[in-house]
Amino acid sequence: MFCVAVAVLALSQKASKAPTPNLPICGLHLTAPSTQAVPLLCEFIKTSLVTEGVNTLVLEFDYRFKFTRHPEIADGDPYSASQVKQIALACKEAHIHLIPQINLLGHQSWAKSTESLLRVHPEFDETRGKYPDNKGIYCRSYCPNAPGLHKVIFDCIDEIADACSADAFHCGMDEVFILADPDCKYCKGKTASSVFASEVNALHDHLKATKRSMWMWGDRLLDGRTNGLGEWEASTNGTWDAINKIPKDIVISDWHYDHAEPTPAYFALNGFPVVASPWRNSNLAVQQLDMMEALRKGANPKIASNAQGMLHTTWCDAEAFIKAYMGSKKQSKDVEETAQCFKDLFKAIRQSKANH
């Protein structure tokens, strides 16, 4: 399949009736800042993001929201519904598509700290009672088959999405290393592929029922053993086979931070709308942009239309990113680099648009 993906890219020099290179999605992913920084974020949206040409904002809240149905789940410095609506209004005024995110399935802990879902509901933990203080693991996962889990998860999704007036939701689902654990009484005997696919389908079906589209990271749908991408940017525990078991209308956020891998073509060939997601390497980000534009120009119309654009990632507090972008305060190297990468990428997008 990857040979086919490379071949698709080679078509970029041929004439085609495919869509123009101009990208439908020119997006930015941010981690929600402190609630005190909401005015700063709103001003950044209405000024800087408009100037840069951003038309999509994925804002990762996780469990930092004052849930009314499950108030016990609200994590540190939670947003009120009114604060989220302020952000949604700023996006509406700026004609920016706001997509909220909760990182689901994996990433339910970080270092010694466990996220609120599993703190409050340890019965949802895939490895309950194992790995004290989260030693020896990357991040905890919830068990997709745990009784009562989806009622809680779906309520949380709905409350944040409603506050955002969102017609799409990003479910995360990247870097899932703990899944179908042999000691989990609900997953024992199941494959990682079937469990992962089942959870993707459950989330997708709920979002579809509430008239929302689903976004997710793409790494677990790539076979890291055969393509050389390894266990981080791809899967080595079998989840990759789920690509054939899930709906094709899920938007895939295809992140790669070291090389411009041809995986957007792979997802597009498999029928998925896809966005390429860089982080802090400007040269790499522009290469990924070139790849997406080549797909839109050189492939047949169906494949070309699946190449939807770019979603720049930041992986830092949004307030730090904004300050680095503005040059108002020196930030860490990673933050400075991702802010510069964002500027360089969107400059290239604007130049490309002007040329077409």
Give 270-312 pLDDT, tens digit per residue.
Answer: 999 999 999 999 999 999 999 999 999 988 999 999 999 999 9
Question: Percentage of the chain surpassing pLDDT 70?
Answer: 94
pLDDT recorded at residue 12: 42
CATH: 3.20.20.80, 3.40.50.150, 1.10.10.10, 3.20.20.70. Which one for 2-10+28-350? Answer: 3.20.20.80
| Contact residues for 280 (Cβ-Cβ < 8 A; gap 6+) | 257, 334, 337, 338, 340, 341
Are 317 and 39 in contact by the 8 Å Cβ rule? The answer is no
The ranges assigned to domains in the chain are 2-10+28-350
pLDDT recorded at residue 19: 55
Q: Cα(75)–Cα(116) distance, rounded to whole angstroms?
A: 6
pLDDT band at 328 (very low <50, low <70, confident <90, very high): confident
Q: Cα(40)–Cα(44) distance, rounded to whole angstroms?
A: 6
pLDDT in tens, 202-255: 999 999 999 999 999 999 999 999 999 999 999 999 999 999 999 999 999 999
pLDDT band at 11 (very low <50, low <70, confident <90, very high): very low
pTM above 0.85, yes or no: yes
Distance linking the first and last C-alpha atoms of the chain: 31
Across the chain, the runs of DSSP E, i.e. the strands, are 25-31, 56-60, 97-104, 109-110, 113-114, 168-172, 213-217, 251-255, 274-277, 307-312
Q: Is the dihedral of CA 246, 314, 297, 170 positive or negative?
A: positive
